[in-house]
Structure 1
Amino acid sequence: MPITDRVAVIIGAGGQLGPAVAKAFAHAGAKLVLVGTHADVLANVFKDLGFRESRATMHVADARDPAAMQGLTQVVQTRFGHADILLHLAGGFRAGTVLDTPDAVWDELFDVNLRTALYATRAFLPLLAENGWGRVLTISSGVTQAPPPNLTAYVAAKAALEAMTIAVAQEVKDKHITANVVLIRALDTLAERAKQPDKKTGWVKPEEVAATLLFLCSDEAGAITGARIPVFGGN
């Protein structure tokens, strides 16, 4: 599924999914804008791509800052002239019940899970619309489908992210832009395995999530919009 010369902006490129997603999109022919809060982490992701600098760039920005996201659009336009794909991989997790989760944690989780996506989407939608083609993809969690106890604020923030993404899909469907949200559970990384040593099933490799995102950005997936796509893994 080539996406040759499509410009993909990856918010949260330095996180658990970032390297696998960057590699998948690079190998499919995309031009990349890697965005994160830590220059050293982004530099490692960039280096591992083995990519020509003419086809990729990295930019340090805090997606919680709407002005930073607006500024990022100028960076992308200056470097590549346009944008085609917005991949929002940023997020955060904190456990807690509705009674013991302080307001500061609610604010934190809504900031990193919802508002980062809001500010990035609001900044880049005009560029995608101007292009006459676009893809917006966000990452949520399977816990929104059957919320367990002790994750109230996290579940609420991710559910809000899903609702926003699906609403955006309806707002831009006449502009040849799709918007979808991919739901995941446990990512199969060494760090996550160490946190959940007794978990036997439901692991998903970052590369499998990346492949799903890549398909949703293809022309073949143009009819899929406003959908929750579960990538929950098997045995």
Structure 2
Amino acid sequence: MTGRVFAITGAFGVLGSALARAAAAQGHRLALIDYAKATPEGLPSGDVFVQAGVDLTDAGAAGAAVAAVADRFGGLDALLNIAGGFRWETVADGSAESWQSLYRLNVLTAANASRAAIPHLKCSAAGRIVNVGSNAALKAGLGMGAYAAAKAGVHSLTQALAEELKDAGVTVNAVLPSIIDTPANRADMPKADFAAWVAPDDLAAVILFLAGEEARAVTGALVPVTGRV
């Protein structure tokens, strides 16, 4: 299963870049897709195809990006949907725009990328889609309404796609992290126990397991990756 073609959305973020480095270390060929236009330092070198400034909330842009990946590498074996967004906001004091924005950033990006990838994944010997949901969507807390609702949409998308693609040999699963240990989260919660959170490298390892041969019998799973939270 080494040398496979992995497309990673949201590849310039903390989790996306950790996943890219881990996938490169396993010998996979990578397509790194992100909305940001500036490519950050620390991305892996080698057989890597970078696409910056891609708006995956636009179905046409998502389709063009995935088509470019297939053209560059001659196919696609796994789509790892890391792109997403977060906003803490109560329902009473929040806005309809927040709900629309978080839906677009979390659900629509994954749906558009997946739709574009499906024809290519069906041609793979072992097609994979891995999404990022959230443990918060299982029981939403204060200020998590819009975010949890969006991630619940990712969970349902995962399960629906798993049923849709199971006879085509394509598995679809999602990881459900709690709090990921990122600089932004540390800044927002400076008094928290960071060691209890989920390290990006640990979450990347679970994603790569689901994208690998060992997980060939797993589809439609929502896998909690919660650390000690």
Q: TM-score, normalised by structure 2?
A: 0.94
Q: Kindly provide the amino acid, as one letter, of the partner of residue 32 in structure 2.
A: L
For residue 190 of structure 1, report the CA deviation from its aligned partner: 3.1
Q: Distance in 1 between matches of 2:104 and 2:42?
A: 24
Q: Kindly provide the amino acid, as one letter, of the partner of residue 58 in structure 1.
A: V
Q: Distance in 2 between matches of 1:14 and 1:68?
A: 18
Q: Distance in 2 between matches of 1:97 and 1:189?
A: 23
For residue 193 of structure 1, report the CA deviation from its aligned partner: 1.8
Q: Distance in 1 between matches of 2:157 and 2:89?
A: 24
**Corresponding position of 2:105:** 112
Q: Distance in 1 between matches of 2:154 and 2:128?
A: 16
Q: TM-score, normalised by structure 1?
A: 0.92
Q: Distance in 1 between matches of 2:119 and 2:81?
A: 16
Q: Which runs of 5+ in 1 are unaligned?
A: none
Cα deviations across residues 138-190 of structure 1 (Å, max 9, x unaligned)?
11111112211221111111101111111100110111111011011111233
How many residues align? The count is: 227
Q: Kindly provide the amino acid, as one letter, of the partner of residue 227 in structure 1.
A: A
Is the Cα contact below 8 Å between 1:101 and 1:153 reproduced in 2?
A: no
**Corresponding position of 1:134:** 127
**Corresponding position of 2:50:** 58
SS in 2 for 1:17: helix
Q: Kindly provide the amino acid, as one letter, of the partner of residue 87 in structure 2.
A: R
For residue 132 of structure 1, report the CA deviation from its aligned partner: 4.2
Summarize the alignment of residues 86-105 of structure 1 with structure 2, pairs less than 5 Å apart: 86-105=79-98
Root-mean-square deviation (CA, aligned residues, Å) is 1.5
For residue 215 of structure 1, report the CA deviation from its aligned partner: 0.9
Q: Kindly provide the amino acid, as one letter, of the partner of residue 97 in structure 1.
A: T
Cα deviations across residues 53-92 of structure 1 (Å, max 9, x unaligned)?
xx11101211111101110122112210100000011111
Is the Cα contact below 8 Å between 1:6 and 1:84 reproduced in 2?
A: yes
Summarize the alignment of residues 2-81 of structure 1 with structure 2, pairs less than 5 Å apart: 3-42=1-40, 44-46=41-43, 49=44, 51-52=45-46, 55-60=47-52, 61-81=54-74
SS in 2 for 1:204: coil
Percent identity over the alignment is: 38
1:166 to 159, 169, 194: 159
Q: Distance in 2 between matches of 1:233 and 1:117?
A: 24
Provide closer, same or farther for how the CA distance between residues 191 and 100 of structure 1 changes in structure 2, counting only shifts above 3 A.
closer
Provide closer, same or farther for how the CA distance between residues 115 and 45 of structure 1 changes in structure 2, counting only shifts above 3 A.
farther
Q: Distance in 1 between matches of 2:94 and 2:42?
A: 34
